[in-house]
Structure 1
Amino acid sequence: MSRALSSSRIGLFQALTACVFWGLMPVYFKLLQSVDALEIVAHRIIWSVPLLLVILYFRKNIASLGPAFTDRKLRWAMLASASLIAANWLIYVWAVHEDHILAASLGYFISPLLSVLWGRIFLGEKLSRNKWIAIAIATAGVSVLAVQALDTLWISLALAVSWSSYGLVRKIADIGPIVGLTAETSILFLPFTLFLIWLTFGLPPSTASQHLGDDRMIDLLLIGGALVTAIPLVLFASAVKKMTLSAIGLLNYLAPTIQFLVGVLIYKEALTPSHIICFALIWISLAIYSTDSFLSGKAARKPQSV
């Protein structure tokens, strides 16, 4: 019993650390303001590959990478998830650079609710009455924001759709989180390497330039993008094995909450009445959704314990 409690506490610490990493991500990318968003994503992908391979080696799990490239169905799934994660990262970094952190955080608040909807549409998962109410309230919140913030609403929706769709593909694909990310970044490695070569040699029609080598701090931050990507994922993947899914589900809202606070308190982004109403409705919908999920999980476990 005490061992299980200790394991749960370790898992909670790991999950909290991962969420704080993700929540403070805007601060990291703001330090790279002088670098184009696409170049940042390219470095994040390229440097992640060797780091993730090292992690898999020490976890004695490199063999699990084989099916991602040899199994036809899994290969297509990895290609789809790689495209979605690249698009999500690019939109997110661009949004941070353009002072749209609030719009980005809203996207990650909407994402879990979209995931529920995707589960109903594509996987035939049944939705309770409370979950439908939660989705309706969230839709109302987004509609309110559309009235006054239509110019940034696309950022929130693009991030929510890409992230929730990525989750759907990864749920269907039979592959672990770290192995999957290694496969995805490996798929993206060649095209983004060619992109950086194109920047380095200034090949037409490029007018941009490669920033690696210009400044030591920028170099460290570009390479460090691999650590920022891998560390929270490894911690969260480990925490999932030690904690209940209901607890993990609630912690998923910590990262966008931190991002929201970073945008308002640190970077002084404008918080309009429509933002306040929208976020309030989203938080209410998430509270209803989380409570319903917790009670459903508790009811499902009760017969087993009896």
Structure 2
Amino acid sequence: MFSGLSSSRIGLIQALIACLSWGLMPVYFKLLQNVDALEVVSHRIVWSVPLLLLILYFRKNFASLVAAARDRKLRWLMLTSSCLIAANWLIYVWAVHEDHILAASLGYFISPLMTVLMGRLFLGETLSRSKWIAIAIAAVGVSVLAMQALDTLWISLALAASWSCYALVRKIAEIGPITGLTAETGLLFLPFMLLLIWLTFNVPASGSDQHFGDDRTIDLLLIGGSIVTAIPLLLFASAVKKMTLAAIGLLNYLAPTIQFLIGVFVYREAVTLSHMVCFLLIWISLALFSTDSYRAGKAARALPSL
């Protein structure tokens, strides 16, 4: 399929497919709107485990999972990251179900900047003047939104914070993306499987209109949550090895942009003046941030090797 293409072009195609998949995620979870968000996330976690184990088997990478299980520090890091990713998924699915796609997309626009700030605070990474300005502009944008949309701002901040903290933990943990996700979902498997069993026998308490087993289409969508979780990540992880970090950084903004457009033009979510001002400032901030990252990467590549 990709014969004759350069490695960087293959990486670009893989990254675009992954980002397009993430961008269209609201449409997928809207199809499951009659299923409680907690139940959707539970199925996403439970069905991801066998799929990820199968991927590890074909990649002949079980040894990395065994090594991670034997490392005490890594186990604690994986437990932390598993809690963060579960919280992120739950907030996101709930936000989509409750018609807050714009708030969710804003969270993923803010998260790269918050991640950089956390890197400075906790890892001692240096920030250029342009990046500090970018973070300050983003903070102003969030403050503007807080004046008029305080009721949904917590969604954006919670998604940004949980994803940024997740990225920080995963940066510290020496584990690959697929192996790490397998470890995380593996740790969450038992409690969420027990939760699904409880919801099955306590239908009124779940709050859902539909459940697994009620409709074949819903069943397939719930199982398919594992595929939309694992496959884009696998493609993106492969693309990272073939592309420059500057290009990858720019592509990270494609998914929330698609989500924003879907929220406005497909699901007709209301866009207020504070939304427009906030998103404009965020986009200016990201433009400054990306330009500075590109220049820094270009300068680093221009240095002669010693």
Output aligned runs, 1:63-78, within 5 Å. 63-78=63-78
Residue pair 1:44, 1:226 contacting (<8 A) in 2 also: yes
| Whole-angstrom distance in 1 between the partners of 2:105 and 2:181 | 22
- 1:32 match: 32
Alignment TM-score, normalising by the size of structure 1: 0.96
- 2:136 match: 136
Residue pair 1:65, 1:179 contacting (<8 A) in 2 also: yes
| Whole-angstrom distance in 2 between the partners of 1:33 and 1:99 | 10
Whether 1:23 aligns to 2:33 is no
- 1:199 match: 199
The structural deviation recorded for 1:227 is: 0.4
Amino acid at match of 1:117: L
- 1:111 match: 111
| Whole-angstrom distance in 1 between the partners of 2:222 and 2:129 | 46
The structural deviation recorded for 1:62 is: 1.0
Report the 3-state secondary structure (helix = DSSP H, G, I; strand = E; otherwise coil) of the residue aligned with 2:124: coil
The structural deviation recorded for 1:67 is: 2.6
Gaps of 5+ in 1: none
Alignment TM-score, normalising by the size of structure 2: 0.96
Output aligned runs, 1:1-306, within 5 Å. 6-202=6-202, 206=205, 208=207, 211-304=211-304
Report the 3-state secondary structure (helix = DSSP H, G, I; strand = E; otherwise coil) of the residue aligned with 1:125: coil
Residue pair 1:198, 1:206 contacting (<8 A) in 2 also: no
Residue pair 1:47, 1:225 contacting (<8 A) in 2 also: yes
Residue pair 2:37, 2:93 contacting (<8 A) in 1 also: yes
Amino acid at match of 1:196: L
Residue pair 1:107, 1:155 contacting (<8 A) in 2 also: yes
Residue pair 1:67, 1:74 contacting (<8 A) in 2 also: no
Residue pair 1:263, 1:269 contacting (<8 A) in 2 also: yes
Report the 3-state secondary structure (helix = DSSP H, G, I; strand = E; otherwise coil) of the residue aligned with 1:304: coil
| Whole-angstrom distance in 1 between the partners of 2:207 and 2:139 | 40
The structural deviation recorded for 1:206 is: 3.2
| Whole-angstrom distance in 2 between the partners of 1:218 and 1:199 | 16
The structural deviation recorded for 1:68 is: 2.3
Name the CA shift for 1:246/1:207 in 2 (closer, same or farther; >3 Å): closer
Over the aligned positions, Cα root-mean-square deviation in angstroms equals: 1.6
Residue pair 2:15, 2:235 contacting (<8 A) in 1 also: yes
- The CA deviation string for residues 192-242 of structure 1, in whole angstroms up to 9 with x for no partner, is 000011111229x93546711100000000000000001100100000010
| Whole-angstrom distance in 2 between the partners of 1:68 and 1:217 | 37
Name the CA shift for 1:4/1:167 in 2 (closer, same or farther; >3 Å): farther
The structural deviation recorded for 1:274 is: 0.3
Residue pair 1:246, 1:294 contacting (<8 A) in 2 also: yes
Name the CA shift for 1:264/1:208 in 2 (closer, same or farther; >3 Å): closer
Amino acid at match of 1:239: A
Residue pair 1:56, 1:179 contacting (<8 A) in 2 also: yes
Amino acid at match of 1:21: S
Amino acid at match of 1:197: I
- The CA deviation string for residues 103-141 of structure 1, in whole angstroms up to 9 with x for no partner, is 000000000000110000000001100000000000000
| Whole-angstrom distance in 2 between the partners of 1:272 and 1:66 | 51
Name the CA shift for 1:5/1:292 in 2 (closer, same or farther; >3 Å): farther
- Number of aligned positions between the proteins: 303
Amino acid at match of 1:155: I
Report the 3-state secondary structure (helix = DSSP H, G, I; strand = E; otherwise coil) of the residue aligned with 1:206: helix
Amino acid at match of 1:225: G
Moved segments of 4+, more than 6 Å: none
Name the CA shift for 1:238/1:115 in 2 (closer, same or farther; >3 Å): same
Residue pair 1:199, 1:208 contacting (<8 A) in 2 also: no
- The CA deviation string for residues 48-102 of structure 1, in whole angstroms up to 9 with x for no partner, is 0000000011011011001322111000000000000000000000000000000
- The CA deviation string for residues 146-188 of structure 1, in whole angstroms up to 9 with x for no partner, is 0000000000000000001100000000000000000000000
Name the CA shift for 1:4/1:80 in 2 (closer, same or farther; >3 Å): farther
The structural deviation recorded for 1:304 is: 3.0
Report the 3-state secondary structure (helix = DSSP H, G, I; strand = E; otherwise coil) of the residue aligned with 1:175: coil
Report the 3-state secondary structure (helix = DSSP H, G, I; strand = E; otherwise coil) of the residue aligned with 2:175: coil
Percent of aligned pairs sharing the same letter: 78
Report the 3-state secondary structure (helix = DSSP H, G, I; strand = E; otherwise coil) of the residue aligned with 1:66: helix
Report the 3-state secondary structure (helix = DSSP H, G, I; strand = E; otherwise coil) of the residue aligned with 1:29: helix
